[in-house]
Amino acid sequence: MSLDTEFIGPFLNATVQVLKVQANIESKTGKVYIKKPEDKSFGDVSGVISIDSEAFTGTVMVSFSEKTFLNIMSAMLGETYEVMNQDLLDGAGEITNMIFGQAKVVLNERGYGIKMAIPTVVSGKNHTLSTNGKGPIFVIPFESQAGPFVVHICV
């Protein structure tokens, strides 16, 4: 399956909406590009979720720098976090889950047949991530009041 605006758009809209409603943070999309092998990975914490349908598989990853992630978690939970801790990490999974869930509703109305999935979290300085999509990895950079972060989509 090829990625196009019809498929990526709902993830962009969901990302903006999730941060606005759940964390009261405004964000906007930068220019989408295809990840090259030599491109450095972005982020210290990523939420990862598999896209699984009868017709295709893929992966959605939302990656944050530690600083951006702590700012978002502080806004979501109403407390100030300045240091990463294990308890906070699943917040990356929850954010990814909400983005995926919102986008999935829109995409399934268009007949994509995406199934429910449970997110996982990967952390570590500039970690790398494997995907289960066959195509290129699309990188969608975001600027937000909490700092920059990136959404990766691969199918």
Partner 1 sequence: MFDPKSRILIIDDMSTMRKIITKILKELAFTDFTEAVDGKDAWEKVQTANPPFDLIISDWNMPNMSGLEFLKLVRADVKFKKTPFLLVTAEAEQHQVADAIQSGVDQYVVKPFNKESLKAKLESAHKKCSTRKAV
Distances, alpha carbon 97 to alpha carbons 48, 101, 112, in Å: 9, 6, 18
Strand partners, 47: 62, 121
Indicate which single residue of 25, 48, 70, 73 sits in contact with partner 1 (rule: CB under 8 A).
Answer: 73
Q: Is 111 in the site for partner 1 (CB under 8 A)?
A: no
Smallest separation (angstroms) from partner 1 to the CB of 105? 6
Distance CA 72, CA 76 (A): 6
Q: Is 101 in the site for partner 1 (CB under 8 A)?
A: yes
Bridge-based pairing state of the strands 27-29 and 57-64: unpaired
Indicate which single residue of 97, 131, 149, 150 sits in contact with partner 1 (rule: CB under 8 A).
Answer: 97
Q: Is 146 in the site for partner 1 (CB under 8 A)?
A: no
Distance CA 25, CA 67 (A): 15
Instruction: Return the sign of the alpha-carbon dihedral for residues 130, 131, 137, 139.
Output: negative
Residues 5-64 that bind partner 1 (CB under 8 A): 17-18, 21-22, 24
Q: Is 93 in the site for partner 1 (CB under 8 A)?
A: yes
Could you tell me which residues come within 8 angstroms of residue 90 by beta carbon, excluding any fewer than 6 positions away? Answer: 121
Q: Is 140 in the site for partner 1 (CB under 8 A)?
A: no
Smallest separation (angstroms) from partner 1 to the CB of 73? 7
DSSP letter at 80? -
Smallest separation (angstroms) from partner 1 to the CB of 90? 5
**Contacting positions for partner 1 (CB under 8 A):** 17-18, 21-22, 24, 73, 76-78, 87-88, 90-91, 93-94, 97-98, 100-102, 104-105, 108, 116, 118
